[in-house]
Amino acid sequence: MAGITYLDQFKEPALRGVVEVVDKQKLEVQDSLLSFLPDENTFDQEFAYNVISTTSQMGAMIGIGNEPPIRDRDEVARRMGSLAKYGWKDIVTENELLKLHNPRNDGEFNALIDKLVADGGTVVSELRDRINVTKAQALTTGIVSYDANNVKVAIDFTEDMPAEHKVALTGVNTWDNEDADVIGDLIAWDQQYQDENGQQADTIFMTRQTQALLLKNSVIVNEAAGFATSGRTRVSVDELNSVLGGYGLPSITIVRKTTARVKNPVTGAFDDIVLYPEGRVIFVSQGVGSFLLGPTVENNFQPGIVLQAYDKNEPIQSILRAVAMGFPIIEKPSLLLYADVIPQGGVEG
């Protein structure tokens, strides 16, 4: 059958090059949020992750002739889970194959080849999008869930987070109250984080909506103005960062994309996927976890994303197919602190 696999552009070396180029570009432009769960290759079909609860310790003073106390080992909780397989494909139709094998000139032939190669790149890009959604789920909610296409996945990493790292403000303490002591909240959470981990968070994530509340918070405004009767009602982003930086707090990173509307590959309907819960403030550090990329048969038993091309006779068509095996893991849940600062449903009034 004359499909596309006889063409050099759709043989394994060329398709591997498409994956490398497309995925490298995707990784370079991804949101800084996702960098906290970097890709990590594994050759295990089963993954094991450690949830390490560390406590700050120091050597003890002992009397002469006495034995020193034994240092406690870090408590290690082990869990097992299966790597999930990701797959996506695009079909080159019989009509497209007819045009490809009967081009009117070289220009038309090359244009068709370029389009098909670009389609392969799109398949890889959209597969990476699915991986990134699970990364975002794991990092921002602590829960990874998927229920479609006869596949059900649900793992809750928050069970291993310290209770003090799951905060939900209520009443007048929520940040939609312009007089809420937001600086006091951030200082308290920063201290709790350091007490638990022996280090400060690398950054604090929040959405633009949450940042907007800080810009008009009276405590922040008075700090920036230097006195309480300035008459000002808001501060600039630079002023906000200066005020918070003056208290030695971690830097603020703004998450600009909190949802994505995508077409469901099973139902054809459009789904709204939450990438970051609105009203949530997250303290996080590198080392919190990773995304394990496992081996697949299609990739010659190597880890990573692979793009393939193959031809079919019934029906007559060619297929561009990308697959990967993997799963996000939160290895050290204490490096996450969630604070829900806005009432469910968003800012009131």
Provide the pLDDT for residue 129. Answer: 87
Gap between the Cα atoms of 307 and 320, Å rounded = 7
Query: What DSSP character marks residue 217?
Result: -
Regarding the domain with residue range 8-55+74-158+288-329, which homologous superfamily does it belong to in the CATH classification? putative capsid protein of prophage domain like (3.15.30.10)
Token code pair at residue 217: 């918070």
1-5, 76-80, 170-174, 256-260: range with highest mean pLDDT: 170-174
- pLDDT tens digits, residue range 95-147? 888 888 888 888 988 999 999 999 999 889 888 988 888 899 899 999 887 76
Gap between the Cα atoms of 87 and 39, Å rounded = 17
The widest CA-to-CA distance across the chain, in whole angstroms, is 95
pLDDT surpasses 80 at 264:
no
**Bigger pLDDT: 193 vs 293:** 193
Q: At what angle do helices 106-141 and 94-101 cross, to 10 degrees?
A: 140
Provide the pLDDT for residue 210. Answer: 96
Residues constituting the chain? 349
Q: Where are the domains of the chain?
A: 8-55+74-158+288-329
pLDDT surpasses 90 at 288:
yes
Task: Give Cβ neighbours of residue 149 (< 8 Å, ≥ 6 apart).
Answer: 265, 266
| Positions of E strands within the chain | 39-41, 46-53, 75-82, 84-92, 143-148, 151-156, 166-168, 203-207, 252-255, 259-263, 270-274, 280-284, 289-296, 302-303, 306-312, 317-330, 336-340
Gap between the Cα atoms of 163 and 149, Å rounded = 35
